[in-house]
Amino acid sequence: MRIRIVDAFTDRPFTGNPAAVLLLDSDAFPEADRLQQVALEMNLSETAFAHPLPPGGEADWALRWFTPATEVDMCGHATLATAHVLRTTGAAGGTVRFAARCGILTSTAHPDGSLTLDFPTAPLTPASTPAGLAVALGAEPLTVHDTGAHIGDLLVELADEESVRGLTPDFAGLASCSRRGIIATAAAEDPSRGYDYVSRGFFPRVGIDEDPVTGSAHTALAPFWSARFGRDELTGLQASARSGLVRTSLRGDRTLLTGSAVTVVDGELLTTF
């Protein structure tokens, strides 16, 4: 079985967020524990599994995502990686519909090679700062928002870009502060550099201390910063060591996430399901 590693939300190898992608030729998923074993073996923030669905339905492919530790409801970068593999292998082109735990997601390919994902917008709710969050994060939040059921993160606004870039969190301490993780964000110090806001994502509860570029987090970052800036079209920089850009377009209860991807490994899984 072919297995590919794709760097998502970047156009250069060894940057962005790597995801493993397996396109299954079956009409159903194997047992979840087997998928989890493969994800653990890959040891990337996400491994995506997809299989084709019968024609005429509401979706073209079924899609699931696993971290090394657990299955998740929503993942942006591994969806982008899957759409990239479908396009570059000729398995699908144009607009592809995915059936996932969080609903129907779509991906649209553009002539320049970039892809736009259509995801549900995260419902933001102001929240109080959990006990121990500021100490574990290493910075005092300005505001805190809950991002809803599918994401399960806390969106934490910090004072400035330097504060976000300089974080050195206590991951064990952060693990008790939210259902999934912490998204730290601030306005860009200099928007002329090509981005409007910065973020970093920490998800120790699901086996990922820091995620390089988190597509799902931008379904919360988009409405948060669009309300602040008064613009629906924005660009976010996730300021991890690998870094990556996500262009966001707020469309009410849907958020469009646009980025590029590049395949860096194309190999064979020498085992069966």
Q: How far apart are CA 250 and CA 254, in angstroms?
A: 7
Residue of 227, 147, 230 lying closest to 183 (CA atoms) = 147
Q: How far apart are CA 48 and CA 45, in angstroms?
A: 10
> What are the distances in angstroms from CA 223 to CA 130, 197, 216?
22, 12, 12
- DSSP assignments along 108-152, one per residue: EE-TTS-EEEEEEPP--EE-PPPTTHHHHHTS--SEEEE--TTT-
State yes or no: is 46 an active-site residue. Answer: yes
Choice among 46, 157, 161, 210 that is catalytic? 46
Q: Amino acid identity of 199?
A: S
Q: How far apart are CA 121 and CA 231, in angstroms?
A: 15
What number of helices (H) and strands (E) belong to the chain? 6, 18
**Which residues are catalytic, by number?**
46
